Structure 1
């Protein structure tokens, strides 16, 4: 049985074309990408050791080995962080034998006050599972008519993978789906991620499972939305980490003049008020 660390190394190896690293093309092969032999040579480890890592039979690689693999795979900074994180959880620092409770959904009063100061802008507090924990009235205007906030405990990840309206609302649904699936690896805790993934997988189907296991580190470019009102919105995302709470404050800002005008029209409509969801 494999491990998240082994799956990530194998996925990255399969995605690399040998010629991009100056290596000879060995012709048609049964598997795509870089051969184990070539990766092991670049990293300075044995093929046998690399095979054990990919197959989950070696779960505690040293920091030196991880750094060598990161260099050999030409990982960027975000991918290196993910490699180290997967090594940490693969090494046994999480427990998969208990069924944990869902993460806390409360938001600190000072964070709620920060949201109030952002009114009537578009902002929300969320966690890496996709739980929407609090939002401004501006965010409610943005989500109006999409179905995202129609339930008592809205969750963006569940919405993306299980509500057909999400595929229309998000112009780049594939990219957003990759982002939401990847974020499940990041918390709020490993145990919470396992709990949520086991709950979501049966209803989201193989498309979710495939994305979750690909370990593609998202680029998080401009968010493009098709609002039910007919507006096409392009939004920049500014994310402020709240490490003490394992939450994020996300602010959405117009990326162009046309979007700014459309957002202004949306915010003029009757809307609710700041909402904390508990």
Structure 2
């Protein structure tokens, strides 16, 4: 996470336009983004200090300065929480140096039992790298025809960005890619395995990943509706819920339910059930 606090502040400054904060753009402006001097004025800090922050030469701003910068940059709740976490990491590294353990790939037996208990709903477990660690039979029937479970280490983000089939299967592919990169960045927290995975994606995928990663997104929805073109049963709209597991290493259960009657009927056909066995949810 070295330099991440400053890089995050810089990315948010470059996303703000003068008009957003009530400043005139000016005729001789060479950049459309908010200048460093303008942010310093709005946050009531010196340009020199802001420069040190953005360049990573100062990593321990006070809570008051962080709040002033967050207000001046018009940060939303997700960005404010992430900024606070980065500041806490900068402090804790000096108290507890050392690297975090690599991404866990084992799933507790009780978690596997929960997946098996969700017989009527596709469900799976992922870690912070989006590795699919375990899944139930309903998800297997849903995902295997897409190619998502090909290989011995399926990964949602890698499939979305590096597999051409993903663009055909997901009508809102760009939105899905945005959300998955944001989730990877949100859970990064100094994990060396995440940085190594991001490097692999950058080398393999290029701009579709790097342009999203460099924006340092952190706001990923925990629930919503995802559209899917399934090769066997046609269109599906699946509502999803993401449930965090109480583990030291971040793992999540994702449960999917049909979002409308047509999707419920198509999912019933895919899973070989009698029609109407799984009710749709509003969404």
Fold shared per TM-score above 0.5: yes
Range 228-237 or range 124-133, more displaced: 228-237
Asked whether the 8 Å contact 1:120–1:137 carries over to 2, the reply is: no
* Aligned partners of 1:128 and 1:184 also within 8 Å: yes
Q: How does 1:42-53 map to 2 (within 5 A)?
A: 42-53=42-53
Alignment check: 8 A CA contact 2:103 2:127 kept: no
**Uncovered stretches (5+) of structure 2, i.e. residues with no partner:** 274-283
CA RMSD of aligned residues (A): 2.6
| SS of equivalent residue, structure 1 residue 214 | coil
Q: Specify the alignment match of 2:277 in structure 1.
A: none
1:232 counterpart residue number: 235
- Are the counterparts in 2 of residues 225 and 234 from structure 1 also a CA contact under 8 Å? yes
Mapping for residues 148-187 of structure 1, pairs under 5 Å:
148-185=148-185, 186-187=187-188
How far apart, in 1, do the equivalents of 2:181 and 2:24 lie?
A: 34
**Alignment partner of 1:261 is 2:265:** yes
Contact 1:120 1:136 in 2 (8 A): no
**CA apart distance, 1:89:** 4.2
Structure 1 runs of 4+ aligned residues shifted over 4 Å read 89-92, 98-102
Q: Give the distance between the partners of 2:150 and 2:11, measured in 1 at CA.
A: 37
SS in 2 for 1:144: helix
Q: Kindly indicate whether residue 85 of structure 2 is the aligned counterpart of residue 85 of structure 1.
A: yes
Segments of structure 1 that go 5 or more residues without pairing to the other structure are: 270-278
Q: TM-score, normalised by structure 1?
A: 0.85
Tell me if 1:248 matches 2:252. yes
Higher mean C-alpha deviation, range 99-108 or range 193-202: 99-108
Is 2:244 the partner of 1:223?
no
User: Do the aligned partners of residues 227 and 91 (structure 1) sit closer, same or farther apart at CA in structure 2, a change above 3 Å counting?
Assistant: farther
Aligned to 1:204: 205
Deviation at 1:188, TM superposition (A): 7.8
**Are 1:63 and 2:63 an aligned pair?**
yes
Write out per-residue CA displacement over residues 123-161 of structure 1, whole angstroms, 9 at most, x where no aligned residue: 111112111011111111221321110111111111112
Calculate the TM-score normalised by the size of structure 2: 0.84
* 1:187-198 mapped onto 2 (5 Å cutoff): 187=188, 190-198=191-199
Report the CA distance between 1:104 and its aligned residue.
Answer: 2.0
Q: Which residue of 2 aligns with 1:276?
A: none
- The offset of 1:65, in angstroms, is 1.6
Distance 1:175 1:28, change over 3 A: farther
1 CA distance for matches of 2:184 and 2:220?
16
| SS of 1:226 mapped into structure 2 | strand
- Distance in 2 separating the partners of 1:189 and 1:32: 31
Cα distance change of structure 1 residues 181 and 93 upon mapping to structure 2, 3 Å threshold:
farther
The residue that corresponds to 1:273 in the other structure is none
